Amino acid sequence: MRKKFMAVLLSVCIVSVFCAGCGQKEEAPAAENVAVEAETDQEAKADQETETGEGTQEIAMVIDHGGSIDDKSFNQGTWEGIKAYADANGKAYQYYQSMEDSDEEYLNSFELAINAGAKIIIGPSYMFETAIYKAQDMYPDVYFMIIDGRPQAGDDATYTTADNTYSVIYAEEQAGFLAGYAAVKDGYRKLGFLGGMAVPAVVRFGYGFVQGADYAAAELGLSAGEVEISYAYTGNFDATPDNQNKAASWYQAGTEVIFACGGAVGQSVFAAAEANNGKAIGVDVDQSGDSDTVITSSVKQLEVTVKAALEDYYAGNFPGGVDATLGVESDGVGLVMDNARFENFTQDDYDAIYAAMKENTDGILDGILKDADAESADQLPVTYVSVKVME
């Protein structure tokens, strides 16, 4: 027993010896560099990076333990927004992955970012709600931005967005509405909505989708029940054979287009669409590149939002204390039209409905119900659409 103990002990000792050697060299600059002022021109930044590579990464993004920077979704969208702004304006930026998913660890990540010179920290997930709630008071000189969440004390009841924090959520129901509208306008009559888990954001997408389809059917003067929507949540956010089978069975039963709304569930739906000659609608970011079956994507303009927030911050008017819900009014949500594969639905059609929603013509925008407004999708007050909720 003892020899094994010794084995590990010795290895630990060796490591600590290494540490003692390197420690002295490294500790000094770390402290110093926090104080180093940001330099705005490109050259200075390059110098900084080659010399120390730390201390001036004033734009920081934090990602959760399980996430990755190239997730083709929230993290990536946010990161690209940061990159677009920072590269154009010569700012250094960096992302920090947390060691695990807990508030304490997120706070550690913030601390690390701040020690490395972060002035503004962006957390692109509701997971950071409580950590940012605490951090906004702990670091009053640092600015925070949370996307898809509101800072709260961890009890889902006490919400406070301090003056150094900007909180953004998106009006998913509006994005969903546009998708449903465009699908019916393009000529589809048998629609499907396959959500991930029934979390509020996904539900809002789904409800909007149903209502948008109904709105288009009314416009086209279709008869009641002429548009059918199969509606379900998979209960996960993954690409699984199960999800693919479900989508495939819908296509085989005549569904023409499925709005795939749940992270990697989309991959399952796309695969099923390819095998069954069906169509699909993507979500969150432009997914037209993932499959030729994707006719459009119902997106949140993360890149735009992040870039705008950074511009505001550097212009000296950071929207601190604001709880924003970004919808069509601020171009926060929309459909992908550049890479769209519609047959009848044109850019003009899109512009028209977008403008109508922006101006709330006939109360169209206010009329869209959200997640809390109906028990389930088939309880929504629609006339032209018949919704079939599958288990």
Nearer to other proteins, 73 or 255 (CB): 73
- How far is the CA of 365 from the CAs of 296, 331, 335, 360, 372, in angstroms? 21, 14, 16, 5, 16
- Report in angstroms how near the CB of residue 191 gets to other proteins at its nearest: 25
Instruction: Tell which positions 144-163 bind other proteins, by CB under 8 A.
Output: 154, 156
> Is 323 an interacting residue with respect to other proteins (CB under 8 A)?
no
Residue length of the chain = 391
**Based on CB atoms, which residue is closest to other proteins, 22 or 220?**
22
Binder to other proteins among 48, 54, 209, 250 (CB under 8 A)? 54
Separation between Cα atoms, residue 300 and residue 291, nearest integer Å: 19
Taking contact as CB under 8 A, which single stretch among the options 100-108, 298-306, 329-337, 374-382 is the one that binds other proteins?
100-108
Residues 6+ apart with CB under 8 A from 206: 176, 193, 195, 231, 259, 261, 377
Nearer to other proteins, 112 or 218 (CB): 112
Least distance in Å: CB of 18 to other proteins? 5
In the three-class reduction of DSSP (H, G, I as helix; E, B as strand; rest coil), residue 299 is classed as strand
Given the rule CB under 8 A, which of 124-132, 222-230, 329-337, 348-356 is the region that contacts other proteins?
A: 124-132
Residue 202 CA to residue 212 CA, distance in Å, equals 15
DSSP for 55-67 reads: S---EEEEE-TT-
Per CB under 8 A, the segment of 72-80, 103-111, 280-288, 295-303 that binds other proteins is 103-111
Of 106 and 188, the one with the shorter C-beta distance to other proteins is 106
- Cβ–Cβ < 8 Å for 229, 387: yes
Q: DSSP letter at 159?
A: B
Closest separation between CB of residue 339 and other proteins, Å? Answer: 29
Instruction: Find the angle CA(346)-CA(348)-CA(349) to the nearest 5 degrees.
Output: 65
Nearer to other proteins, 126 or 314 (CB): 126
With binding defined as CB under 8 A, does residue 6 bind other proteins? yes
SS3 at position 34:
helix
* Closer residue to other proteins, CB minimum distance, 46 or 220: 46
Contacts of residue 340, Cβ cutoff 8 Å, sequence gap at least 6: 288, 295, 296
List interacting residues with other proteins (CB under 8 A). 1-12, 14-15, 18-19, 22-23, 25-26, 29-30, 49-50, 52-54, 57, 66, 94-105, 108-109, 112, 115-116, 126-127, 130-131, 154, 156, 197-200, 235-238, 240
